[in-house]
Chains A and B, each alone.
Chain A
Amino acid sequence: MSVPVADELIRPDEPRVQAVSRRTTSDRVFRAVVRASGALTLGVMVLIGLFLTIRAWDALRVAGFKFFTTTAWQPELGRFGVLGALVGTLLIAVIALVIAVPVSLCTALFVTEYAPARLRRPLTSFVDVLAAVPSIIYGLWGKYFLQDRVIPLSRWLGTHLGFIPFFQTKDAHERGSYSASTFIAGLVVALMIVPICTAVMREVFSQAPPGEKEGALALGGTKWSVIRTVVLPFGKGGIVGGSMLGLGRALGETIAVTLIISPLFDPRALTHVLHQGGNSIASLIALRFSEANDFGISALMAAGLTLFVITLIVNAFAAVIVARSRSGAATEI
Chain B
Amino acid sequence: MTRMQARMRAAPRTNIRALLRGIPAAAWICALVALLNGVAWSIITPPFQGRDEPSHFAYVQQLAETGTLPHEVAEGGGPSPRENKAIEGLHQYEIMLAPEVPAISSVSEQRALKNDLSEELSPVGSGEAGVATSEPPLYYALEIVPYALGAGNTLTQLQLMRLAGAVLAALTTLLAFFFLRELLPGSPWMTTIATGCIAVQPLFGFMSGTLNPDTMLYTVSAAVLLCLARAFRRGLSMRLSIALGAAIAIGLVTKLNFIGLCAGIFLGLSLIGIREVRSHGREALKPIGAATGIGLSPVLLYAVFSGGSLFSSIGDVITFNNGGFFKEVSYAWQLYLPRLPGMSHYFPGIETYREIWFDRFVGLYGWLDTQFPTWVDNLALIPAGLIAVLCLRTLVVGRERLRSRLPEIATYALLLIGLLVMVGHSAFSSYLSSGAAAFGDPRYLLPVLPLLAAILVLAIRGAGRWAPPVAAVILVTFLAHDLFSQMQTIARYYG
Q: Do A and B come from one complex?
A: no
Q: Using a CB–CB distance below 8 Å, which chain A residues touch chain B? A: none
Q: Using a CB–CB distance below 8 Å, which chain B residues touch chain A? A: none
